[in-house]
A and B are shown apart, each in its own frame.
Chain A
Amino acid sequence: MTQAPERYIGGGVPRKEDPALVTGRANWTDNIKLPGMLHVSLLRSPYAHAKITSIDVSAAREQPGVVAAFTGDDLAEDWDKNPQANPAAVTGYGMSLDQRVRQAQEGGESSVTDTPETTGEQPVDEKTRTFVSWIPTDDTKIPNHWPVARDEVNYAGDIVAVVVATDRYKAQDALEFIEVDYEPMEPVVDVEAAVADGAPLVHEDIGTNESFTWTLATGDIDDAFNRADVTIKERYLQQRLIPNAIETRGVVANPDAITGGYTVYSSTQIPHILKYVLAVYCDVPEQQLRVVAPDVGGGFGSKLNVYAEEVIALVLARKLGVPIKWIEDRSENYLATIHGRGQVQDIELAATSEGKILGMRVNLLADMGAYLMLDGPGIPILGAFVYPGVYTFDAYDFSVTGVFTNMTPTDAYRGAGRPEACFAIERIIEALAREVGLDPVEVRRRNFYEPFDEPTDTPAGIQYDSMNMPMVLDRVLELADYEGLLEEQRRRRESGDPVQLGIGFSTYTEICGLAPSQVLAGLRTGGSGWETAKVQMLASGKVEVITGTSPHGQGHVTSWSQIAADALGVDVNDVEILHGDTALSPYGRDTYGSRSLPVGGVSVHLAAQQVVDKARKISAHMLEAAEGDMEFEGGRFSVAGSPDQNVTIQDVAAAAYMNYDLPEGMEPVLSEEVFWDPPNFTFPFGAHICVTEVDTETGFVKIRDYFGVDDCGPVINPIIVDGQLHGGIAQGVAQALYEEAIYDEEGNLTTGSMVDYLIPGAPELPKYTLERTVTPSPTNVMGVKGVGEAGTIGAPPAVINSVVDALSPYGITHIDMPASPWKVWQAIQDAQGQEAGTRDADLSGRPSQAADSTDTEGGTDS
């Protein structure tokens, strides 16, 4: 008899990735050593904005161990070989803009066709060198982005020269012998200053600091504001963040003597996209390029890009004919790897006196930094679709202007546009609650969608897949004992406790599962959103799964094994997952945007199902039964009604491999490949409560508890999902309380090290109390939604709402992120100064050590 099959999906299968990682045997890019390999060091501009008046690398060439040294001009023709090709910008990964426009028009997508000047003309000169793929409008201004600057540097960190030497120390030493004369120019280091009249221009040839303006409008927004009983206008700042994957970036480019091509190993999230862009940028035939993402030590969006250093390594490998290695220093990582966030958000709400939202206006300034990176312009646009959040209303008006500044370029950082959106709506809903005199829980309830499990229209013109907000909110209120917390808060307020209690909410949704390719085309992302998987059973009955996703901590090897093992009815340890090497998996759309499970994992499931379908036919043939009579359970096909007549899927795999007795016309082996393009995104949702203790005397915020009820649909591996939430919430808490990239007036990054930039350590982060509900997505057969960014999106408003709630007796209604002790303390001082007039205002200039002489509301002295 067949025994009950082991089901892996939903179980906490221990990670298959771990053995190599806990024993120090992983294969990081920096562990790769090849015979004859040379090392690259890069000289970077100390100026945020300057002309290079002269540059001389000849003395560097004379240094011990140095093999070569180059300026930007020396290398210019190495990436200028292909006069037609403008990598991402014009071709959009293989599709001309022309084609994209046409496809979008045929598909009826509005964001391209609504632009009146759509002519199909290329928005950039084909000679423009750029890494940008997502070009939001026809008139997007795209600056030249040379991998090594030629006559001008535009941010502190821009590369100006390259040294190649026999080891890293020697390459580094030689940098000191490069002579560069700069003529400093006035930098622009503030996104608002950049759009003011008379602002210095980051790129003079472009003639403006505004790269693009992109809009989205639904419903009658003026009518909504005319009808409103209350209107609220707020401004929020999204500080720049530095992703700080603990493994920095690195690349090794190896000329292949046999094929005449190249293998590029890179610490990247996107080997497939990288391969295409490198091929075009450097004019290496794509079929002669192989890109490998070895073990990758975290990404968070920062390795979802094509970087100058990858291009430099490849052209040097071609030029010098030897393997070339570049490993990023942490200090370079701060300057030269993309930053995240960097937005000024103006948001307005129109509502009734009952707290029902009627309409919303959003105006953003988005800091692009000095150049446009792969998806940089698209980040605020991704956010545009979730500003309405978990609330339904009639009219929505959104606009974003992308702005050049003389700072590190920005792009995707965990959440990418959606944490910004979630923060804005979840903050302004609190303002609405205050305005109409409702509890923040109640005002949310009044605007929630009725629970739904089929695609439902939203104010942003897209369709959410499934949602049940009352359920997650009710559960998190129970979990946190909201009533008990309110009681404690009352007590502390009444007794004038110097440590006040804050209760902060966040009810969020976000966009996962990037993405339907047609929608991506309509948005002009320059990319496609399908994913692929190949499931092959070997002669021995073991299984190989080839996936186009590229994990860097997410545990795909384990989760994909669970999916395949369940579908095929085999042991999870009999499945191997192959990924991250374009020679193994020529196709793939890689890992970002919480897409891997809802697109890539689903593809594994679909391919495994196809293997089962074929195996079923063969099993019927083997047992001389009708295909329709075959039952499949626990990896065994049996004939309905006579369970003794059966074969295992491993037997079938062997028969399929041997190919001497298969059904007429059937091809040998069990190997099926699927390319799956999802019909919609997926939308996880949840409700979080952050409980803070705010010391009003020191401004210090302690997160006492963090409760979350999240719904990402059915869960493949609860251990991994919890881990994603822990890490995601941690990065959200980090934005709310600790992290900020700060530039001085000259454009120097003053938080350019782990000492100055406050990455939270174990003592700074709370323990989490998490639960889940399960609302399947109708977008895919597995019902799965994705979870990689949920925590980072949900957490910041929960934390800030909590801090503001704790301080509400002072009349404090907002504190910008990060809510550092100094900022909190200052807000209290300001609030008291306003209340008490000049007496306390005189104290406001005192340093924080003087806190003992200030009065809190309850009159407590310490």
Chain B
Amino acid sequence: MRRIQMTVDGRAHVAEVEPRLLLLHHLRENLGIGGVHTGCNTTSCGACTVHIDGESVKSCTVLAVQADGHEVTTVRGIMENGLWHPMQQAFHEAHGLQCGYCTPGMIMASISLLKENPDATEQEIREGLEGNLCRCTGYENIVKAVQLVQQHTNGQPA
């Protein structure tokens, strides 16, 4: 067992974990953050996407011990002043979700996509979300949601 410390959604957590424990499972099982979803455990689906120090990461590819000392943000930690993050709002408005299981990961991936490439074209958005699978939406409205955020950010009416 190893003792680790990390900040998750603004709160510090100390825990004793097995070295083999995935960050995904640490967040879900030890810290009770059910908003980080398991889709595959093997880096394929993106349902588990979180931010580590602001960078988007699939939490099933990272061991909990590797996140020791880092800052982790999940979909539960992106609201500001009690208001939804613009990406959450946009997914809602554009109907970018159906069952919603891919959604937290999709939102986290989309936020970091726009952070890296604010003016991403439709094709770049599609490619940027390649690692996140959605079985419900056919992606069309997910792409629209990301574009909606771009429009808001650029001050254009949605």
Q: List A residues at the B interface (Cβ < 8 Å).
A: 14-15, 17-28, 30-31, 33, 167, 169, 243-248, 295-298, 300, 327, 329-330, 552-555, 719-720, 722-723, 726-731, 753-755, 759, 761-763, 765, 767-768
Contact B138 A21 (CB under 8 A): no
Q: Would A723 and B95 be within 8 Å (CB), given that A24-B74, A24-B75, A762-B126 are in contact?
A: yes
B79 interface residue per 8 A CB criterion:
yes
A24-B76, A552-B99 known; 12 new pairs, CB 8 Å cut-off, are A22-B84, A22-B92, A22-B97, A23-B88, A27-B34, A28-B37, A295-B99, A726-B137, A726-B139, A727-B98, A727-B135, A765-B138
Taking CB atoms, residues of chain A closer than 8 Å to B56 are none
Contact B135 A298 (CB under 8 A): yes
**Residue in A closest to B36 when the chains form the complex, CB atoms:** A24
Taking CB atoms, residues of chain A closer than 8 Å to B139 are 726, 730, 761-762, 765
Among A15, A247, A727, A754, point to the contact of B101 (Cβ < 8 A). A247
CA of A720 to CA of B36, assembled, Å:
25
CA of A25 to CA of B122, assembled, Å:
29
Contact A24 B135 (CB under 8 A): no
Contact A24 B34 (CB under 8 A): yes
Taking CB atoms, residues of chain B closer than 8 Å to A244 are 135
Q: Would A22 and B103 be within 8 Å (CB), given that A554-B98, A727-B98 are in contact?
A: yes
Interface flags, B127-146, vs A, CB<8A=1, else 0: 10111111111111111000
Taking CB atoms, residues of chain A closer than 8 Å to B40 are 330, 753-754
B42 interface residue per 8 A CB criterion:
yes
Q: Would A730 and B126 be within 8 Å (CB), given that A247-B39, A754-B40 are in contact?
A: no
CA of A17 to CA of B134, assembled, Å:
17
Contact A169 B95 (CB under 8 A): no
Q: Which 8 A-B pairs have the closest CB atoms?
A: A24-B35, A297-B101, A21-B100, A730-B138, A553-B99, A754-B44, A726-B138, A31-B34
**Residue in B closest to A717 when the chains form the complex, CB atoms:** B95
> Closest CB of chain B to A41's CB: distance in Å?
14
**Residue in B closest to A295 when the chains form the complex, CB atoms:** B100
Contact A300 B98 (CB under 8 A): no
Taking CB atoms, residues of chain B closer than 8 Å to A727 are 98, 135-138
B156 interface residue per 8 A CB criterion:
no
Contact B141 A723 (CB under 8 A): yes
CA of A23 to CA of B99, assembled, Å:
13
**Residue in A closest to B140 when the chains form the complex, CB atoms:** A726
**Candidate in B125, B129, B139, B143 with the most chain A CB atoms within 10 angstroms:** B139
Contact B84 A23 (CB under 8 A): yes
> Closest CB of chain B to A185's CB: distance in Å?
31
Chain A, interface SS category = loop
A–B complex contacts, Cβ < 8 Å, 19 sampled: A14-B95, A18-B91, A24-B35, A26-B100, A169-B21, A245-B135, A246-B134, A247-B101, A295-B99, A296-B99, A327-B38, A722-B95, A723-B98, A727-B138, A761-B132, A762-B127, A762-B129, A762-B139, A768-B140
**Residue in B closest to A28 when the chains form the complex, CB atoms:** B34
Contact B141 A726 (CB under 8 A): yes
CA of A22 to CA of B141, assembled, Å:
14
**Residue in A closest to B89 when the chains form the complex, CB atoms:** A22
Interface flags, B18-34, vs A, CB<8A=1, else 0: 10110000001100111
Contact A247 B99 (CB under 8 A): yes
Interface flags, B55-82, vs A, CB<8A=1, else 0: 0000000000000000000111001000
Once A and B bind, how many residue pairs between them come within 8 Å at the CB atom? 174
Q: Would A14 and B135 be within 8 Å (CB), given that A246-B99, A246-B101, A330-B42 are in contact?
A: no
Taking CB atoms, residues of chain A closer than 8 Å to B74 are 24
Taking CB atoms, residues of chain B closer than 8 Å to A719 are 95
Contact B123 A763 (CB under 8 A): yes
**Candidate in A27, A167, A327, A754 with the most chain B CB atoms within 10 angstroms:** A754
CA of A247 to CA of B100, assembled, Å:
10
**Residue in B closest to A720 when the chains form the complex, CB atoms:** B95
B41 interface residue per 8 A CB criterion:
yes
CA of A218 to CA of B41, assembled, Å:
52
CA of A498 to CA of B89, assembled, Å:
44
Q: Would A763 and B76 be within 8 Å (CB), given that A14-B93, A22-B103, A730-B138 are in contact?
A: no
Taking CB atoms, residues of chain A closer than 8 Å to B18 are 169
Contact B76 A15 (CB under 8 A): no
Contact B135 A300 (CB under 8 A): yes
Taking CB atoms, residues of chain A closer than 8 Å to B138 are 726-730, 765, 768
**Residue in A closest to B145 when the chains form the complex, CB atoms:** A22
Among B35, B75, B102, point to the contact of A246 (Cβ < 8 A). B102
CA of A700 to CA of B74, assembled, Å:
38
B8 interface residue per 8 A CB criterion:
no
Taking CB atoms, residues of chain A closer than 8 Å to B148 are none
**Candidate in B79, B133, B140 with the most chain A CB atoms within 10 angstroms:** B140
Contact A246 B98 (CB under 8 A): no
CA of A453 to CA of B141, assembled, Å:
33
Contact A297 B99 (CB under 8 A): yes
Q: Would A246 and B39 be within 8 Å (CB), given that A24-B33, A762-B126 are in contact?
A: yes
Taking CB atoms, residues of chain B closer than 8 Å to A22 are 75, 84, 88, 91-92, 97, 100, 103-104, 107
Contact B142 A762 (CB under 8 A): yes
Taking CB atoms, residues of chain B closer than 8 Å to A167 are 29
Contact B141 A25 (CB under 8 A): no
B111 interface residue per 8 A CB criterion:
no
CA of A31 to CA of B32, assembled, Å:
8
Taking CB atoms, residues of chain B closer than 8 Å to A17 are 100
Contact B101 A14 (CB under 8 A): no
Contact A298 B136 (CB under 8 A): yes
CA of A169 to CA of B25, assembled, Å:
10
B45 interface residue per 8 A CB criterion:
yes
Q: Would A246 and B95 be within 8 Å (CB), given that A18-B100, A726-B140, A727-B138 are in contact?
A: no
Taking CB atoms, residues of chain A closer than 8 Å to B28 are 30-31
**Residue in B closest to A247 when the chains form the complex, CB atoms:** B101
B47 interface residue per 8 A CB criterion:
yes
**Candidate in A14, A300, A761 with the most chain B CB atoms within 10 angstroms:** A761
Taking CB atoms, residues of chain A closer than 8 Å to B45 are 246, 330, 754
Among B95, B134, B135, point to the contact of A15 (Cβ < 8 A). B95
Contact A23 B47 (CB under 8 A): no
Taking CB atoms, residues of chain B closer than 8 Å to A19 are 92
Taking CB atoms, residues of chain A closer than 8 Å to B142 are 762
Taking CB atoms, residues of chain A closer than 8 Å to B33 are 24
> Closest CB of chain A to B59's CB: distance in Å?
13
Interface positions, chain B 93-121, Cβ under 8 Å from A, are 93, 95, 97-104, 107
> Closest CB of chain B to A708's CB: distance in Å?
12
**Residue in A closest to B40 when the chains form the complex, CB atoms:** A330
Contact B135 A754 (CB under 8 A): no
CA of A762 to CA of B33, assembled, Å:
27
**Residue in B closest to A331 when the chains form the complex, CB atoms:** B42
Contact B130 A21 (CB under 8 A): no
**Residue in A closest to B9 when the chains form the complex, CB atoms:** A24
Contact A247 B37 (CB under 8 A): yes
Contact A23 B79 (CB under 8 A): yes
Contact B126 A15 (CB under 8 A): no
Q: Would A330 and B41 be within 8 Å (CB), given that A26-B100, A244-B135 are in contact?
A: yes
Taking CB atoms, residues of chain B closer than 8 Å to A759 are 133, 135
Taking CB atoms, residues of chain A closer than 8 Å to B123 are 763
**Residue in B closest to A725 when the chains form the complex, CB atoms:** B138
**Residue in B closest to A20 when the chains form the complex, CB atoms:** B100
Among A28, A169, A553, A761, point to the contact of B98 (Cβ < 8 A). A553
Taking CB atoms, residues of chain B closer than 8 Å to A755 are 42, 44
> Closest CB of chain A to B12's CB: distance in Å?
20
> Closest CB of chain A to B129's CB: distance in Å?
5
> Closest CB of chain B to A801's CB: distance in Å?
20
> Closest CB of chain A to B138's CB: distance in Å?
3
**Residue in B closest to A21 when the chains form the complex, CB atoms:** B100
Contact B75 A23 (CB under 8 A): yes
CA of A296 to CA of B38, assembled, Å:
13
**Candidate in A21, A723, A727 with the most chain B CB atoms within 10 angstroms:** A21
Q: Would A298 and B99 be within 8 Å (CB), given that A246-B134, A759-B135, A768-B138 are in contact?
A: yes
CA of A767 to CA of B135, assembled, Å:
16
